[in-house]
Amino acid sequence: MRLHSAPVLRVADAKPMHLGHVHTADGRWRIYLFAPADGLGPGSRAAAWCDAVAPIVARSAPAGGDLDAVVDVRAVTQASWQDLEVGDVPPLLRPTTGRLGLTDYEKVFSSVTPTGDDVYDLRGVSREEGAVVVVRPDQYVAHVLPLDATDELGEFFARFTTQR
């Protein structure tokens, strides 16, 4: 099944967009983290997940290249964009990219939209537990995992990515 798009609000600039439109045809795998009720801030389950997954993502990145060159991690939070401090977002979700090493702040989205549509409701994601959705480069869902299955996520990517 393909990952069907849903409306979200990009936290960095409060721009309404569709989550599926950020999945460009560039050959990268995408991991969508749907943050549980405790959000993305320090001490949250999502922040702990990001810390555990960062080595998995880094393992497949090319030496001297961007962290997200092979596996691009995006997050959706239940908080309003106004309630989220961008500096509190885990480093995995604000990597430095490009030859100038600029910080990419466009990886976090809010499910609170002006239209009232909510991606958690539209896609059946538990608000309390959250979820991790791994999407292949062709936009087909490869895996759906709970946040505590980081070992399984690592094993999944180890089957076909090479360590730098």
Domain borders along the chain are 7-158
Mean pLDDT of the chain: 93
CATH number of 7-158: 3.40.30.20
Q: What is the pLDDT of residue 114?
A: 87
21-25, 47-51, 59-63, 159-163: range with highest mean pLDDT: 47-51
DSSP secondary structure, 23-63, as one string: --SSS-EEEEEE--TT-SSTTSHHHHHHHHHHHHHHHHSPT
pLDDT tens digits, 68-88: 999 999 999 999 988 988 888
pLDDT above 90: residue 132? yes
Helix extents (H) in 6-149:
45-60, 119-123
